[in-house]
Amino acid sequence: MAAFGTVFMPQMTLATFENSNWSSPELVSSDSIQLHPGAHVLHYASTCFEGLKAFRHENGSINLFRMDRNIERMQQSSQLLSLPAFDASFLQKMITDVVKHFHNDVPKPPGSMYIRPTHIGTESAIGKAASPTSSSMLYVLLSPVGDYFASGDQTLRLLLEEDGSRCAAHMGMVKSGGNYASALQPILQARASVNADQVLFCPNGDVQETGAANFLLIDGNEIITKALDSSFLHGVTRDSILTIARDMGMTVSERELSVDELLERAAKPESEAALSGTAAVLAPVGTLIHKGKEIPVGDASPGKTTLKLRKALNDIQWGKAEDKHGWLTQI
């Protein structure tokens, strides 16, 4: 497969909001959109998106994973960005319609169809820096993706950043392009200076998230991760992993985690750390970099619990294990 998210299906579903009403969604070409150069999104970043996946099961059925949670989060992001509201059923139909249309193109395991709903402000009014857009566009792109770990499980190197944040604290819950853009320079600098894969943002010593994923620390039978608040993204994969961990009898601690505690626990031989997200599900972390020192997490190899949790979630997604929580929507 090509690099993740670089291949797209030739059509997408699209709807527009104008004159206080949503248009009927249409199936259109996915190679371009019409946008005025003065569009609100281009000047004032009125944009949010989601990422979810469709999976092909052995019986040929196509199943969407936790679509309701992604739609709910996108409604929340739209509200926090003052973008026009939409009903959950409206976006659900847009998603299911385009996935049904490309039913035959959903890859077999370990691949999947990545789904990217996107909402942007389209009003051409560059004088509205302090006012919301009155019009918008909602569309759903599809991208077939392969196995994220096709090259093998390689542990990640994270630079701990205590002086900066991924984004403004009140914007953490919004899945917006601006949040990712604000993390780019720290990530690029970390790659160039210490060969880090990602930056783990820990403002004032508070362990939060990386530029594109939630962070989990595993110490024996306990998973520790920051409690939900407005400062970071409430990951759907994060929630799924924590639910599975509880099902397995693990202790899940959603609380404040300091850099000092993280480093102390990471030094234990059996400790593990991982990043959770839609693309990788659960990616093992092998090294933490702090104030010029490299601290291995456990023995610096992919942890057994990390791999067990990832497999458990994958098995549900691919229909190899019971969907006890009703996470799959068959279409």
| pLDDT tens string 90-144 | 999 999 999 999 999 999 999 999 999 999 999 999 999 999 999 999 999 999 9
The pLDDT assigned to 100 comes to 98
The Cα–Cα gap between 71 and 141 comes to: 14
Instruction: Output the CA–CA distances (angstroms, integers) from residue 42 to 126, 181, 312, in the order listed.
Output: 9, 13, 41
Q: Are strands 272-277 and 281-290 parallel, antiparallel or unpaired?
A: antiparallel
The pLDDT assigned to 1 comes to 58
Q: pLDDT per residue over 170-229, tens digit each?
A: 888 899 999 899 899 999 999 999 999 999 999 999 999 998 899 999 999 999 999 998
Per-residue pLDDT averaged across 268-297, rounded?
94
The pLDDT assigned to 169 comes to 77
**Radius of gyration (Cα) for the chain, nearest Å?**
20
pLDDT band at 283 (very low <50, low <70, confident <90, very high): very high
pLDDT band at 151 (very low <50, low <70, confident <90, very high): low
Q: Which helix (H) or strand (E) holds 67?
A: helix 67-80
Q: Which token pair is 88? A: 């959950």
Per-residue pLDDT averaged across 55-83, rounded?
97
Instruction: Identify any residues that bridge with 272 across adjacent strands, giving them in sequence order.
Output: 218
The Cα–Cα gap between 213 and 90 comes to: 28
Per-residue pLDDT averaged across 259-286, rounded?
94
Kindly state the DSSP code that residue 206 receives in the 8-state scheme: B
The Cα–Cα gap between 102 and 317 comes to: 19
Residue 316 has pLDDT above 80, yes or no: yes
Q: pLDDT per residue over 152-179, tens digit each?
A: 788 999 999 999 888 787 888 899 999 8
Strand runs (DSSP E) across the chain, as ranges? 11-18, 21-22, 26-29, 47-49, 52-56, 62-65, 112-121, 136-145, 156-161, 198-201, 209-210, 214-219, 222-225, 251-254, 272-277, 281-290, 293-296, 328-330
Q: Which token pair is 120? A: 């942007």
The pLDDT assigned to 73 comes to 96
> For the CA atoms of 301, 307, 309, 310, what is the dihedral angle to 10 degrees?
120
The pLDDT assigned to 279 comes to 86
